[in-house]
A and B are shown apart, each in its own frame.
Chain A
Amino acid sequence: MLRIMRQIIKVGSITEPLPTADGFEQLGAQLKAKIKQRFQGSLAIRFVDAGSCNGCELEVHAANNAYYDIERFGVSFTASPRFADMLLVTGPVSINMKTALEMTYEAMPAPKLVLALGDCAANCGVFGQDNYAIAGSVADIIPVDAVVHGCPPTPSAIIQGILQVMDSHHHAG
């Protein structure tokens, strides 16, 4: 136990401030306030891989590591769509995942925010829309509020994307 404590103290806090380009921090502050106002400080995200290669998943994991610490913005990942505020979808939507994605979306309560994450989610990426096994991009299947490009997007781009959904979504709050 002592060794664990010593290691924790030795490493210390490594969480970094977000990149400051393009007034991003300001956006962060704004939307953190929005999460606080609309979701009582906690935004629950349901994650669905609709056909990804697992690259995007690694970067979503990274957004949870101590450097980025996405939880500090009040963002948490939930195991059920029933109490999720936002759906985070990766991958081109495969024909075998289409129904599961639709059912997950259906199971969510309003406002059903949706973020399409990565080039595949945005436009099917290298797998292509002219592919028998691909039903389409995420927006072809369910309504999408924001898109983050990248193959895969970096953890800071993911955080930025989540904050952007909050900004672009104009459903009655």
Chain B
Amino acid sequence: MTELSNTWFAERMGDHGIHSRYLEDHHPAHMPCLEIRRLDWAHAAEEAKRQAMRLVAIWAVEIVEEDASKQLYTYMALAHEEHRHVLLRTPIHHENPEILSISQHFISAYRMERHIQDMFGIQVRNILDARLWIKHEHWPEDAHPLLYDFDGKTPMLSDPERADMDYEYVPCDSESVYEIPVGPVHAGIIEPGHFRFLAVGEKILNMEERLGYVHKGIEKRMQGRTADEGLTLAGRISGDSTVGHSWAFAQACEYAANITLPKRASYLRGILCERERIANHIGDIGAICNDAGFAFMHMQCARLREDMARLHAEIYDHRLLMDNITLGGVAHDLSLKMREKLIQQTRDIAAEIEHLRAIYADTPSIQERVIGAGIVTTDEAKDIGLLGYVGRASGHSPDERIEEAYAPYDDLEVAIPEGKLGGVSTRVWVRFEEIANAARMVIQCLESLPEGDIQTPWNLPETGVSGFAAIESWRGEIVTWVHFGENGIIECYSVRDPSAINWLGLELAVRTVPVPDFPLVNKSFNCSYAGHDL
């Protein structure tokens, strides 16, 4: 861990007269948290943009200080390819809670800023879009659930006067344009959300997302819990990314508690995370093909995914790998026999996928549908800061396994497929490549599994410390920030699923594609609703 790199952004800001102060009780030191003045907030974002940093997340919290007074803060996390993550925070006045928007510098900020407005009642000035977001119209006007004094325990009742209020979608008064409302309940077995299409003939002119339907108050629910209870909840933020979310949560807690994992445990985590990546990519490739009527691939992929789930049930006691990451380690060690089984299956599945890939590539009916559909250009991807396979397919490839190089990836050779064309076929190509790479890393971890413990004893973080972690889940970078109060109780918490950013990419990708191509493009992104809505 180089401690030198962490002064980099503070120096850049210093060059422009932005004063910053290190927060001693924030961990880890190589991803520091700097407090800046509120009037420098947007200026700092502008400087970050100039330094070619990307916006990782922006969130707010209300912390109870040592003298029992409550203080609102907004945080932003930024990342630089070489200089890694840095967090900035600034205090917000209670009487006049407002902050300047940074969405003119980082477009992806605006939905997270709307989340801040909804949850805290903080006015974000100059925001590009001031409509409600997670807070749906029927909520009482003064409900801001993440404020400390808000009663988070009683189910909130709709305000009868607001019950019939509608969200104002982007209007269009042209006679040749028609609207198609879709959702929140969708046709298939998928999560709920609303899409509003404006179409001309077959072509989509504009598609607008309306999310928040599966908001479950996770950030509020974390408050007052032990880290252990929090971990169980984090594993259920998005069921398909249970390993990714648990790992990000556990790592943030481990940084806060200043404990390091035994090498064996981090290898075992790597195996879990890469197997989760393989299983989800396989399922998605099948589903993408199915949305274009190529049911053969769907049946074959579903079979391979099931094979993986069954071995997971046998070895890890859970088909989707839930509750396998613990604070300071992992729940299951692997015997030699289990390792052999896992190696064998990973190898077999990777080989079967290569075979299916050849069939997919040689089938004109599917190629005709995926090539050129749903394009996001490199410039757009960089502007939004698209993550994971969606970013990689459009020539924007932040990857925490390389940039942050947390264990075990510091020992592994992580290869990143870099696509350029940014369409459905490129996203499928990236997923095929990632399956092969992940399989190689799983086998490498299994073959060179270090001896030792699988668990470092957990010790309670000190009062007032916070931890931050960034983990490359199968969808992309998940970041988690946890702040501890007395006795190791979580006082505030924030998480950013990659979907919070990638959903914006989907809106761009479906411009000018025909309406029937929407499911295909949507599936190639496969953003999480649950991970976004929290």
Which A residues fall within an 8 A CB radius of B? 3-4, 7-8, 11, 14, 47-62, 64-67, 77, 79-80, 91-92, 94-97, 99-100, 104, 125-136, 151-152, 154
The answer for the CA separation of A127 and B184 in the assembled complex, in Å, is 21
Name the A residues within 8 Å of B238 (CB-CB): 53-54
* Interface contact A129-B155, CB-CB below 8 Å: yes
Q: Within the complex, which residue of A8, A47, A55, A64 is in contact with B239, where a contact is CB–CB below 8 Å? A: A55
- Find the B residue at minimum CB distance from A46: B185
Per-position 1/0 for B157-177, Cβ under 8 A of A: 010000000000000000000
A8 to B155, CA, bound (A): 51
Contact, CB under 8 Å: A66 / B299: yes
Q: 23 A-B pairs, CB-CB below 8 angstroms? A: A7-B356, A11-B300, A48-B185, A51-B216, A53-B236, A54-B191, A55-B236, A55-B239, A56-B239, A57-B189, A59-B319, A62-B319, A65-B299, A77-B189, A94-B216, A96-B212, A96-B214, A96-B533, A100-B192, A125-B236, A131-B155, A131-B217, A132-B156
In the complex with contacts A51-B214, A54-B530, A66-B355 CB distance below 8 A? no
Q: Does B151 contact A (CB under 8 A)?
A: yes
A14 CB to closest chain B CB, in angstroms?
Answer: 7
Q: Which of A49, A65, A125, A133 contacts B217 (CB 8 A)?
A: A133
Taking CB atoms, residues of chain A closer than 8 Å to B480 are: none
Provide the B183-224 mask, 1 if CB < 8 A to any CB of A, else 0: 011011111100000000000000000001111111011000
Q: What's the nearest-Cβ distance from chain A to residue B151, in Å?
A: 7
Contact: B240 with A94, CB < 8 Å? no
A61 to B528, CA, bound (A): 16
Do B213 and A97 touch across chains, with their CB atoms under 8 A apart? Answer: yes
Chain A min CB distance to B139 (Å):
8
Q: Which partner residue on chain A sits nearest B236 by CB separation?
A: A53
Min distance, Cβ A136 to any Cβ of chain B, angstroms: 7
Q: Does B309 lie within 8 Å of A7, measured CB to CB?
A: no
Interface mask (B276-297 → A, CB under 8 Å = 1, otherwise 0): 0000000100000000000010
Residue B525 CB within 8 A of the other chain = no
Residues of chain B with a CB closer than 8 A to A48's CB: 185, 192
Cβ contact within 8 Å between A65 and B216: no
- Chain B residues positioned under 8 Å from A91 (CB to CB): 214
Within the assembled complex, what's the spacing in Å between the Cα atoms of A164 and B252?
Answer: 43
Contacts of B283 in A (CB 8 A): 58, 61
CB contacts (< 8 Å) of B530 on chain A: these are 52-54
Contact B189 A130 (CB under 8 A): no
B362, B363, B528: the one contacting A54 at CB < 8 Å is B528
- Tell yes or no: B2 within 8 A of A by CB: no
Assess A100 versus B184: contact at CB under 8 Å? Given A53-B239, A65-B302, A131-B153. Answer: yes
Which B residues lie within 8 Å of A14 (CB)?
Answer: 303
In the complex, the answer to whether A94 meets B155 with C-beta atoms within 8 Å is no
A52-B215 in contact given A8-B296, A130-B153 (Cβ < 8 Å): no
Whether, in the assembled complex, B41 has its beta carbon less than 8 Å from a beta carbon of chain A, the answer is no
- When distances are taken between beta carbons in the complex, the residues of chain A under 8 Å from B69 are none
Give every chain A residue within 8 A of B213 (Cβ-Cβ).
51, 94, 96-97, 100
Residue of A nearest to B310 (CB): A67
Asked if B216 contacts A67 (CB within 8 A), the reply is no
Q: How far is the CB of A102 from chain B (nearest CB, A)?
A: 11
Bound Cα distance A54, B526 (Å):
12
The interface residues of chain B, by DSSP majority, are classed as loop
Instruction: Provide the bound-state CA to CA distance between A64 and B185, in Å.
Output: 20
Query: Is the beta-carbon distance between B240 and A55 smaller than 8 angstroms?
Result: yes
A54 to B522, CA, bound (A): 16
A37–chain B nearest beta-carbon distance, Å: 27
Expressed in whole angstroms, the Cα–Cα distance for A125 and B134 within the complex equals 22
A134, B216: Cβ atoms under 8 Å? yes
Chain B contacts for A62, CB-based, 8 A? 302, 305-306, 309, 319
- With contacts A65-B306, A151-B322 taken as known, whether A58 is within 8 angstroms of B240 at the C-beta atoms is yes
| B320 lies within 8 A of chain A by Cβ | yes
The answer to whether B152 touches A132, judged by C-beta atoms less than 8 angstroms apart, is yes
B334 at the interface (CB under 8 A from A): no
CB–CB A61/B214 < 8 A: no
Contact of A52 among B151, B156, B233, B239 (CB under 8 A): B239
A49-B190, A51-B214, A152-B320 known; A134-B155 Cβ under 8 A? yes
Distance from A107 Cβ to chain B, minimum over Cβ atoms (Å): 10
Contacts of A58 in B (CB 8 A): 239-240, 283, 320
Which residues of A sit under 8 angstroms from B214, Cβ to Cβ?
A: 49, 51-52, 91, 94, 96-97
Contacts of B138 in A (CB 8 A): 95, 99
Given A53-B238, A96-B215: A47 and B220 interface contact (C-beta under 8 Å): no
Q: Which of A7, A47, A66, A151 contacts B189 (CB 8 A)?
A: A47
- The reply to whether B221 and A127 contact each other, CB–CB distance below 8 Å, is yes
Given contacts A49-B214, A132-B217, A133-B215, 7 further A-B contacts (CB under 8 A): A54-B530, A62-B306, A65-B305, A100-B184, A100-B192, A128-B221, A131-B216
- A138 smallest CB distance to B (angstroms): 14
Closest to B153 in A: A130
What is the bound-complex CA distance between A158 and B232, given in angstroms?
23
Q: Closest Cβ of chain B: how far from A166's Cβ, in Å?
A: 20
The distance in angstroms between the C-alpha atoms of A13 and B139, with both chains bound, is 52
* Bound CA span A64–B272, Å: 25
The one of B216, B300, B306, B533 that contacts A127, using a Cβ cutoff of 8 Å:
B216
**Closest Cβ of chain A: how far from B444's Cβ, in Å?**
27
Known: A8-B296, A97-B192, A132-B154. A152 touches B302 (CB 8 A): no
What are the 8 A-B residue pairs with the smallest beta carbon separation, nearest first? A55-B239, A133-B217, A79-B187, A65-B302, A53-B239, A54-B239, A130-B153, A132-B156
CA distance A21 to B278 in the complex (A): 32
Most interface-central of A57, A135, A136 (chain B CB within 10 A): A57
The smallest C-beta distance from A22 to any residue of chain B, in angstroms, reads: 20
Any chain A CB within 8 A of the CB of B529? yes
Q: Is B136 an interface residue (CB 8 A)?
A: yes
Inter-subunit contact B303/A67 (CB<8 Å):
yes
- CB–CB A57/B296 < 8 A: no
- Is B466 among interface residues, defined by CB-CB distance under 8 A? no
Cβ-based interface call for B145 (8 A): yes
- Identity of the chain A residue whose Cβ is nearest the Cβ of B363 in the assembled complex: A4
- In the complex, how many angstroms separate the beta carbon of B221 from the nearest chain A beta carbon? 6
In the assembled complex, which residues on chain A have CB atoms less than 8 Å from the CB atom of B533?
Answer: 96
